[in-house]
Structure 1
Amino acid sequence: MLPMNRLFLIFSLAVVAGFVSCKRFPNPFANQKVLAEVGGEKLYLHDIAPIFTPDMTAEDSIKIQKSYVDQWVKKQLKIQEAEEMFRSSQEDIDRMVEEYRNSLMTHKVDQYYVDKRMDTLFTDKQIADYYLEHKPDFILDKNLLKARVVKVPDSYRQIAKLKEVMLSSGNDAYQDFVDICTKNGFELIEVNNWTEFPVLLSLLPTKKNTDYGYLLNEGKIFEFKDQGYTYYVRVTDHRGVGDYAPVESVSDVIRRVIFNQRKQDIIKAHEDSLYRQAVTEKKIVVNVN
């Protein structure tokens, strides 16, 4: 026995198609019922079968069918209007359509061989080698930095110790710094990835139209006070305008470049193989002096 939702679907299609029978429901997809016709173009009931799902009610299927038919009619009217308006340039349109089709087809062929043969593994050495070979391409036009920001209530009395370990280098000093922040519940922001200078400023209670270039001094801790708290900030590493970008900051760019190079190599190798095979089989005739 058919489930109730399947009966609803069959019933709705049969009603719209005009084939309701007191004795049985015929298969709505077995006929050639024309739902709409525009200038000789016809839309049949079986053309729209894929838009229906078993969970549709009769009411929903009728609404969806009506909407689909309306959109189809409007689309056909626009197509026929365009054919009339641009009849004189039909050859150009046909040529553009053919070029677009050919472009899609060749792209699918290229993508097939790229998907089949592409090596998507990028080693650190490959990235580093590319970086060294193209280092002049990676000169910075903006400041990049790594930094550390901690927000401390003004009531805290051991600021000297906090600043000492925040400024010190080495794993032990850094761990002492983290321990102090954790123990006292201080808000600590670690900017460990290479980041643009404005991002750091957005973490601080800065003022508009003020030059904060002095923050880039890696050997100092700077303070910003705001509503009972003090923000202590230290830039731990910095690359300025005109410097070479750190390799870590451009590794994603390098991966994309290497990927595209490999892709083009695969496409070219396939094209060359096709050409050599066609020459061998005498499928090519070229008459160019």
Structure 2
Amino acid sequence: MLFLKKNKAVPIAMAGLMLLASCDSLFREKVEKEPLARVGEQFLYKEDMAPLIHPDMTEQDSALFVTNYINNWASKQLLLSKSRINLPEEKLAEFDRLVSDYKADLYTRAYVEALVFKDQDTAISTTQLRQYYEKEKENFKLNEKLVQLRFIGMPAQFLDKDEVVSRMKNWEDIDRNYLDSIAMQFKKIHFNDSIWVSASRVMEEIPPLNPLNEEDYLKKSQFFEIQDSLEVYLGKVTDVLEINDIAPFEYISPDIKQLILNRRRMDYIRRLETEIIDEAIQKNEFEVYGKDE
């Protein structure tokens, strides 16, 4: 029996040697994966660990990390093996189904999110936001107090405090310009008293304020001076909204935008699911058996 190659006869023994050499090469490629540990028929290979070793690790840290990883891997493999032996068949089947469903969810969710990111319209005008706000404003009641205020934090030994107090109260253009000119001397400043800020955020910025005393200081038209051991805080509250008041449009508009985007996203996903099923039916890729005609 002869094998023909380029019109030359090759003895079968020689062909066998060539085949064995080829197989030996293939086997060597598999053996080249350097095992680090084995549990039963499961192997942990060096190449599996390589991506987990950070370049900034010291040799001692990486050795400790590898040892801990191998031990954790072995424990999981041994427990998994024993669980498959000792758990009831129906429980194993249930877990396998859950794993399969979770895997499918991961793939489909990633694919759908990629499509949404690519195709979803994220442009929302101020008019659209305002229309939604006017329609749903009764649903936008505050769950915390909001304030509009300006404040300054300065060192406790600040020399011109009286001048700053006067300027903070008057708040004409000339006063604002003056305070801006010496702003580098302050620890903290907040001059934009037209924006709404939560009382909790104000208390973060002004530590001497707390839930026990904020009712005394955070009142409409209230000017306050409060201090701790390090700083003096001067503030002027221009307006206040209480819990259960309707949230102002400017404060709630970022949340409204997110609500609209979420609604668009859900509509897009529902439309996508319908279209993909319709397309599969038309291409005869999907059919349901046993349904009554």
TM norm. shorter chain > 0.5 = yes
Q: Hey, what does 2:107 align to over in structure 1?
A: 105
Q: Deviations over 1:123-172 (max 9, x none)?
A: 4333333322221121112211132223466774672x544432335544
- In structure 2, the partner of 1:75 is 76
- Give the counterpart letter for 2:245 in structure 1: D
* d(CA) in 2 for partners of 1:29, 1:59: 31
Matched AA of 1:190: H
Superposed, which structure 2 residues align to 1:245-284 within 5 Å? 245-282=247-284, 283-284=286-287
Taking a change above 3 Å as real, the CA distance of residues 76 and 204 of structure 1, as seen in their structure-2 partners, is: closer
Using a 3 Å threshold, how does the CA distance of structure 1 residues 212 and 116 change in structure 2: closer, same or farther? closer
Counterpart Cα distance in 1 of 2:29 and 2:62: 14
Aligned to 1:168: 170
Match of 2:190 in 1: 190
2:92, 2:169 → 1: CA distance?
74
Name the counterpart of 2:46: 48
Rounded Cα–Cα distance in structure 1 between residues aligned with 2:126 and 2:146 = 21
Counting only pairs closer than 5 Å after superposition, residues 1-289 of structure 1 correspond to structure 2 as: 31=31, 36-39=37-40, 41-43=41-43, 47-52=45-50, 69-88=70-89, 89-151=91-153, 156=159, 159=162, 162-168=164-170, 171-179=173-181, 181-182=182-183, 185-190=185-190, 192=192, 193-204=195-206, 206=208, 210-224=212-226, 230-282=232-284, 283-285=286-288, 287=291
Give the letter aligned to residue 168 of structure 2.
M
CA contact (8 A) 1:138 1:245 kept: yes
What residue in structure 1 maps to residue 20 of structure 2?
A: none
The aligned counterpart of 2:19 is none
Relative to structure 1, is the Cα distance of residues 205 and 34 closer, same or farther in structure 2, using a 3 angstrom cutoff? closer
- Residue number in structure 1 paired with 2:14: none
Aligned residues: 257
- The CA distance in 1 between the partners of 2:60 and 2:239, in whole Å, is 66
- Residues of 1 paired with 2:209 and 2:190: CA distance? 22
State the Cα RMSD in Å.
4.1
Q: 1:117 to 1:196 in 2, by over 3 A?
A: same
Name the CA distance, whole Å, in 2 between partners of 1:158 and 1:65.
61
Aligned-residue offset at 1:264? 1.3
5+ long unaligned stretches in structure 2: 1-26
Q: Give how far 1:273 is off.
A: 0.9
* CA distance, structure 2, for counterparts of residue 154 and residue 288 of structure 1: 87
User: Which whole-Å CA distance do the structure 2 matches of 1:231 and 1:216 have between them?
Assistant: 13
Judge conservation of contact 1:34–1:42 (CA < 8 Å) in 2.
no
Residues of 2 paired with 1:219 and 1:157: CA distance? 23
